[in-house]
Every structure is written in C-alpha cells, then in structure tokens.
Structure 1
Amino acid sequence: MKAVQHIAYKEISESIKFSDIEKPSINKNEVLIEAYAASVNPLDIKVLTGKLKMRKNYTLPAKMGYDVSGKIIEKGENVTNFNIGDEVYAYVDKQGAFAEYVSVKQNIVSLKPKNTTFEEAASLPLVSLTATQALRRGKLKAGDKILIHAGSGGVGSVAIQMAKTTGAYVYTTTSTDNVQWVKALGADRVIDYKTEDYKTIVKDADMVLDTLGNKYTEDAFKVIKKGGKVITLVGPVDKETANRMKLNFFARTYLAWKRRKVTKRISEKAAYYSLVLLRPNSRQLNEITKQVESEKIKTNIEKEYPLKDAINAVLHVANGRTKGKVVIKIK
C-alpha cells in the first residue's frame, strides 16, 4: 500500500518518504480502515523534529499521522461495535494515518458524523479530543471567563466553540487577518495580538488554555484570578502528571527544576496548573460526533492535499499560522 513514512531526523522535506509498504494486519480487537482522509497536526511536526524521539518503541522508518477517517473493510473476531462498511473516524495513538489502510483498536474508533465529508471528519479527532480533555481538566462551567490562545488554530478554533456551548465568556488571541473569522466562531472578545496586548485586556480569568508555551505559560498566571486555572498543552510537566507517568526520581527532579518558574507562579496565585497529555477516548469522540451533528461544532479546512503530495501538507503546517486544519485526501 502507499504510505508516508518518517525516515530520518533532518530537514522536514528530507525526513519524509512516500513509500510502498505492507498492508497492516489486524488482531481480534482491531478493525482495518480503508482510509479516505487524514489530517496533519503540529504533533506530527514534533515527531519529525525529534521532540518525541525518546518515546518507547519509536524506531525509524515509522508510519506517520494521527487523524484518520474512512470505511471499515475488516474486523477482528472480538469486534462487536462496528460492521463492515461503517464510516468511521479515529485518533490513531500509534500513528499510521497517512496511508491507504490503517489498523485501529475498536475501543478508540467512532462512527463519523453523518453531516460531514470524510475530509471534515478527519480534521476533528486530535483537536476536538484535546479541547475536550483540556476544558474538562479545568472544569470549565457556565459563567466562567476563559482565555484561549491561538483561536484560529486547530485546537483553539474547536475549544472556542466548546467553551461557548458550555456558557463561558471567551477571550481569544489571533492575528489581524483572522479576527473576523474567529469572531464568527463565537468568541466574545477577539484580541489581535499584532496590535493589542492581551495582558492589559484579560483580567481575573477563571482559566487560561495555553496552546503556545514558553513565556505564554508563565504570563497566563498574570491574567487569572486568585485560585484560577492554567491548563497547558505545551508547558512544563506538572508534579501530578509526572507522578502519573511513573518517572524515576532523577527524571522527576529534572522536571521539577524545569517548572521552577511556573511553580513560583502557582504559589503566588494559589492556582491550579496541569499539562494535558492527549488520550484516545471513543466515548468522548462519540459525544463530539453528536456536537458536530447538532452543529454546535463546525470544522474548517484551510487546504487539502492528495496523499502523493503529503510532504507539502506537512510543510504547510510546519510553517505555522494555519487557519483551521490541513487535510490529506487519500481516496
């Protein structure tokens, strides 16, 4: 089958290869999906640039891609939730979505929303699950004020819609070119970071969803109220998460040193701080399907590329400033 592989840690254009590889087999708890579409995420760029190279069992060459949509063409003997021919989508935690066929555990697959194309469905799993898990970690509720950074990005654009459905007041940051588009998503106050300083506008927020990291993680504590929450996707690993990861003493000590500035900010604001590490969750994806079908969440695809041109799709995302999602059309 045709697939995109990660072959080296070099410049991105030299790290990816369009290959013919063996079609995956399935075990008794998996389904085989004939892929119709996949989408590119910043996480794919992190993989290519070596930021996740220490992950267990990750060796090159490796298949790429986390988001897939398509039709089930085979199922294992223990699969009872799906039938051959079902149209599905999934966040593929073991990667492999940039290919003609993808094997996936049945417990992380969901039926795709009936009112979406395969391309639209493929744009959803990673970003919508990330937004869901982040907002739930922060226990966002009606009446809360939340700042969501990078409102035109994949996670940000979905998180805005979810937060508004919850009944929260939403601040978000974006560039001048995207202000009107982000307003249309429902954000209450769109901050043009090229002309405005969000730190002078956002005051006493209940929660910040930090999608940018670095100085933005530390500065998040300047805009939350006493006892507020900072939920990060890219900031330092918090103590609770480090313990859940079952790291050894030396690793936990190093991470404690890395987050020392954040630890000081937590203490000053009596704040709650947490790093969200995305986990596949078909129950949550089923809920997202309902939200999409009821039009509480709408997708936005900036550009589509054919599978043979997947390298340019990845480079598009690597260049940053993507408005919504970039999708690879496979079939």
Structure 2
Amino acid sequence: MKAIQHIGYGEISESIKFSEIEKPTINKDEVLIEIFAASVNPLGIKVLNGKWKTKKNYTLPATLGYDVSGKIVAVGEHVTGFNIGDDVYTYHNKQGTFAEFVAISQDNISLKPKNLNFEEASSLPLVSLTALQALQRGQLKFGDKILIHAGSGGVGSIAIQIAKAKGAYVYTTTSTDNVEWVKALGADRVIDYKTEDYKTIVKDLDIVLDPLGDPYTEDAFKVIKEGGKVISLVGPPDEETAKKMGANQDDLKQKRQKITEQMELKSASYSLVILKANAKQLDEITQLVEAQKIQPVIDKVFPFKDTLKAFLHVKNGRTKGKVVIKMK
C-alpha cells in the first residue's frame, strides 16, 4: 500500500517521501481501517524537525500521521462493538495514518459523527481530545472565566467551542484578520493581540489554557485569580507529569522555578497536558458534534498526492483551523 514516510531530518521536502509498504495485519483486539482522510498537525512538523530523535521506539523510516477517519474493513476476533463497514475516526498515538490502511486498537476508536464527512471528522481527534483533556484537567465548570490563547489554531478553535458548550465565559487571543470568524465560534471576548494587550483586559480568571509557551505560560499567572489554574500544552512538565515521564526532577525544577514562584504567590496550580488516546472522550466529542455544539474548523483540504504541500502549508503557521489530506 502507499504511505507517506519520514525518512530523515532536515528540510521537509527532503524528509518525507511516498513509499510502498506492506498492508498492516491486525491482532485480536484491533480493527483495520481503510483511510478516507487524515489531517496534518504542528506535532508532525516537530517530529520531522527531530523532536522524537531520542524516543527509543521511533526509528526511520516511519509512516506519519496521527488523525484518521475511514471505514472498518476487518476486525479482530476479540473486537466487540464495531463491525466491518462502520465509519470511524480516532487519534492514533503510534502514528501511521498517512497511508491507505491502518491497524488500531478497538479501545481507541469511536464511530464517526453522523453529521460530518470524512474530511471534517479527520480534523477533530487530536485537537478535540487535547482541548477536552486540558479543560478537564482545569476542572472547567459552568460560569468559569477562561482565557484560551491562539483561538484561530486547531486546538484553540475547538477549545473555545467546548468551553462555551460547558457554560464558561471565554476570552481568546488572535490576530486582526481572524477576529470576526473567531467571534463566530462563540468566544465572548476576542482580543486582537496586534492592537490590544490581553494582560490589561482580562483579570481574575479561573483558568488559562496556554498552547504557546514562554512568555505566555509565566504571564498567565498575572491574570488568574487567587487559586486559579494554568494549563499548558507546551510548558515544562509539572511535578506529577514529570514523574510519569520518568524525567530528571532536578533539571525540571530549575526550568519550573519562575512558574513555581508564581504558583506560590497566587496559591495557583499548574499542569502540563500530554495527549492520550481515549475512546470514551472521543465519544463525548461525537455527542457534542452531533448536538451541533462543536463544528470542525478546516483551513484547507489537499489530495493525498499533495501531502508535501500540506506539510509546508502547516509549517507556515498561518492556518485557520486544520489542514486535511483527502485519501479517497
């Protein structure tokens, strides 16, 4: 079968190629999905740039891609709840969705929302699970005030919608060109970072969702209330997460020093969210989509043959929502 594979580090045009690889086989707990659409994430760019060089289980060549939507064409003998012909979607934490077929555990997949096509569905798993897990880590509840940075990004655009569905008051930041369509996602106050300083507008927040990192991680503590929460997607690991990662605590304590000082001043909490595949949470996303409380935000759809162009488009960093690759 055809697949897009990571073959080396450096310029994107020299790092990926079309390959002919074996069609995957499934074990007793897996399903085989014929892929109709997949989507490109900034995480994929980081992988190409060498972020995963140190991972023991990551070897080249490696088939790229995390998000997928498609049709089940085979099921393992222990699979229950799914049948051949089901339309499904999922986040595949092992990569491998930029291909014609992929084998995935039944524990990680969900039925595709009935009101979405395959391209729309493939845009959701990584960003929607990231947003939901971040908001759950922050224990978001009805009436909370939250700042979600980068509202026009893949995670931000979905996090806004989930937060509004849960009854929060949502502030978000974006550039001038994106203000109106981010407002249309439901944000209560859209801050144009090119003309406004969010730190003079928001205060006493319950939660800040930070997908940007320094200095936004540290500055988040300036706008939360006493006992507020800062949830980061890119900052240094908090102590609990670092332990799970087996990271060197001494090194991380130094990296977290400023954050720790801010936490103590505000009696606040800080967490780094590391995405995990979760079918039950994806089922929750499906329910929100089918209830029309969440809608996918797609920047552009590329045919499979133009996957390189899709990567370069994402690398430019000016996308509104997600970039999708149409396989079928």
If the TM-score is normalised by the length of the shorter chain, which range does it land in? Answer: over 0.9
What one-letter code is carried by the residue in structure 2 that aligns with 1:205?
A: L
Further displaced range: 45-54 or 104-113: 45-54
**Corresponding residue of 1:265:** 262
Render the CA deviation track for 1:133-184: whole Å, top value 9, x for unaligned.
Answer: 0000000111111000000111000000111111111000001111000000
What one-letter code is carried by the residue in structure 2 that aligns with 1:272?
A: S
Query: For residues 38 and 302 of structure 2, what CA distance do their matches in structure 1 show?
Result: 10
**Corresponding residue of 1:72:** 72
**Corresponding residue of 2:290:** 293
Q: 1:308 aligns with which of 297, 305, 310?
A: 305
> Are positions 1:280 and 2:277 aligned together?
yes
Render the CA deviation track for 1:259-311: whole Å, top value 9, x for unaligned.
Answer: 11111111111110000000000001011101101100001211011111111
Secondary structure in structure 2 of the residue aligned to 1:173:
strand
**Corresponding residue of 2:99:** 99
Secondary structure in structure 2 of the residue aligned to 1:38:
strand
**Corresponding residue of 1:11:** 11
Percent of counterpart pairs with the same letter?
71
After TM superposition, list the pairs within 5 Å mapping 1:105-124 onto structure 2: 105-124=105-124
**Corresponding residue of 2:250:** 253
> Are positions 1:144 and 2:140 aligned together?
no
> Are positions 1:176 and 2:173 aligned together?
no
1:93, distance to aligned residue in structure 2 (A): 0.6
Query: For residues 207 and 240 of structure 1, what CA distance do their matches in structure 2 show?
Result: 19
1:321, distance to aligned residue in structure 2 (A): 2.1
What one-letter code is carried by the residue in structure 1 that aligns with 2:305?
A: K
Query: For residues 86 and 286 of structure 2, what CA distance do their matches in structure 1 show?
Result: 14
1:74, distance to aligned residue in structure 2 (A): 0.7
TM-score, normalised with respect to structure 2: 0.99
Query: For residues 210 and 164 of structure 1, what CA distance do their matches in structure 2 show?
Result: 17
1:53, distance to aligned residue in structure 2 (A): 2.0
**Corresponding residue of 2:228:** 228
Render the CA deviation track for 1:203-262: whole Å, top value 9, x for unaligned.
Answer: 111100001011111111111111110000001111111112234xxx121111111111
What one-letter code is carried by the residue in structure 2 that aligns with 1:289?
A: T
What one-letter code is carried by the residue in structure 2 that aligns with 1:125?
A: P
Q: How many residues align?
A: 328
Query: For residues 255 and 22 of structure 2, what CA distance do their matches in structure 1 show?
Result: 42
Query: For residues 90 and 36 of structure 2, what CA distance do their matches in structure 1 show?
Result: 12
Secondary structure in structure 2 of the residue aligned to 1:141:
coil
> Are positions 1:85 and 2:85 aligned together?
yes
Query: For residues 55 and 269 of structure 1, what CA distance do their matches in structure 2 show?
Result: 36
1:13, distance to aligned residue in structure 2 (A): 1.6
What one-letter code is carried by the residue in structure 1 that aligns with 2:293?
A: K
What one-letter code is carried by the residue in structure 2 that aligns with 1:293?
A: E
Query: For residues 150 and 51 of structure 2, what CA distance do their matches in structure 1 show?
Result: 21
Query: For residues 17 and 154 of structure 1, what CA distance do their matches in structure 2 show?
Result: 25
Secondary structure in structure 1 of the residue aligned to 2:93:
coil
**Corresponding residue of 1:215:** 215
TM-score, normalised with respect to structure 1: 0.98
1:322, distance to aligned residue in structure 2 (A): 1.1
Query: For residues 36 and 29 of structure 2, what CA distance do their matches in structure 1 show?
Result: 22
Query: For residues 268 and 8 of structure 1, what CA distance do their matches in structure 2 show?
Result: 46
Q: Which runs of 4+ in 1 moved over 3 A?
A: none
Query: For residues 28 and 61 of structure 2, what CA distance do their matches in structure 1 show?
Result: 26
**Corresponding residue of 1:164:** 164
After TM superposition, list the pairs within 5 Å mapping 1:2-81 onto structure 2: 2-81=2-81
Secondary structure in structure 1 of the residue aligned to 2:116:
coil
Query: For residues 107 and 281 of structure 2, what CA distance do their matches in structure 1 show?
Result: 11
Secondary structure in structure 2 of the residue aligned to 1:309:
helix
1:54, distance to aligned residue in structure 2 (A): 1.6
Further displaced range: 258-267 or 134-143: 258-267
1:30, distance to aligned residue in structure 2 (A): 0.5
What one-letter code is carried by the residue in structure 2 that aligns with 1:73?
A: V
What one-letter code is carried by the residue in structure 2 that aligns with 1:71?
A: K
Query: For residues 193 and 52 of structure 1, what CA distance do their matches in structure 2 show?
Result: 32
Unaligned runs of 5+ residues in structure 1 are none
